A and B are shown apart, each in its own frame.
Chain A
């Protein structure tokens, strides 16, 4: 199916473990983004990518790593999960050009215990 898919939808992990959240889009959009959504903070940008092999930090990048070896995939890795990283994570993509809207995935709810 066309679209942007995230996996898993739900994940519980322990403090200190490495966790990878997956994001796949079928449109070949150049831009991809990772946001986290928390009560009281709204949506905050973690990392973004302008193309394969081009990534950059957003507002809250500490503790996260991204890669983009292929245009369609943009995984987000928590190197050593902490309880403060408990959140809902959203991946999004966008076509090139100014003012185009983002298309979001359905999110991954991550709980770090």
Chain B
């Protein structure tokens, strides 16, 4: 079974601080996705990274896919209370189905 470990599990920071969330695996994925989930709702896709070494920016969020396509990181600059939520990475398995394997999640709380 492919596993995706996220760190840290919990993060509580003040508004304006920067943070990085890590997603690591011993397996290679064809691509990796990041989702954010708010209480009482389903996960919402933020980004998909496909190429090893790829970097994507979404406003204050920067996503990077490792060169070997086994790991990824999410960096948030100047965090805001609206960034609060559960961040999930998900690796795409190869094959026709392209099933997602979800990471363990990082719960972020940004205090005003």
Contacts and interface: CB of A to CB of B under 8 A. Distances in A.
A31 B40 contact: no
Interface string A82-112: 0000000010101000111111111100000
Contacts of B31: 98-99
B48 A31 contact: no
Given A59-B1, A107-B41, A107-B42, A99 B92 contact: yes
A90 B98 contact: no
A48 B50 contact: no
Contacts of B100: 33, 45, 102
B30 A104 contact: no
Interface in A15-33: 31, 33
Interface residues of A, number: 25
State the main secondary structure of chain A at its contact with B: strand
Interface of B: 1, 30-31, 33, 35, 40-45, 48, 50, 88, 92, 96-100, 102-105
A42 B104 CA distance: 5
A48 B101 CA distance: 13
B73 to A, nearest CB: 18
Interface of A: 31, 33, 35, 42-45, 48, 50, 56, 58-59, 90, 92, 94, 98-107
19 contacts: A33-B99, A42-B105, A43-B102, A44-B102, A45-B100, A48-B99, A50-B97, A98-B31, A98-B98, A99-B50, A99-B92, A101-B35, A103-B45, A104-B44, A105-B42, A106-B40, A106-B41, A107-B40, A107-B42
